[in-house]
Structure 1
Amino acid sequence: MRLSARNILTGKVVEITAGAVTSHVKIDLGGSFVTASITNEAVADLALAVGDEASAVIKASDVMIGKV
């Protein structure tokens, strides 16, 4: 599959927390983590499970930066 998004981060699924409608999927990128909120249906369709290799595909027109 080809995608227009240029930010593809691949890692291992380390946690899936299911809610009523959406699940939070946490991916270990090798010491850094990204968490995505996706529908429970998408988790089932992808047959996602802890330990699977998965990619977070990020396409955004805006990126916000904050300073602490």
Structure 2
Amino acid sequence: MQMVSERGGLATARQLLWSDQPSDRFETLWRHGRLDLSVEAHVIKEEFAELFTDEDQERARARLNDLRRT
């Protein structure tokens, strides 16, 4: 929440998306079978499509697909 307060929601989402490593919270969501709550899952939702670039959406899909293969 601190990141959102300091940078805003969109900038925070992009920072998390483009970090070299997924956040600890992303991995926690994965372990609990709740990737649907992740930033990555929201980036690829149609309702938010206009906020993110094609590259952002590709990155989100790739990160989700990488974890689904493990």
Structure 1 or 2, whichever has the larger Rg, is 1
Higher relative strand content: 1
Q: TM-score when scaled to structure 2? A: 0.25
RCO greater where, 1 or 2, for CA within 8 Å and sep 6 or more? 1
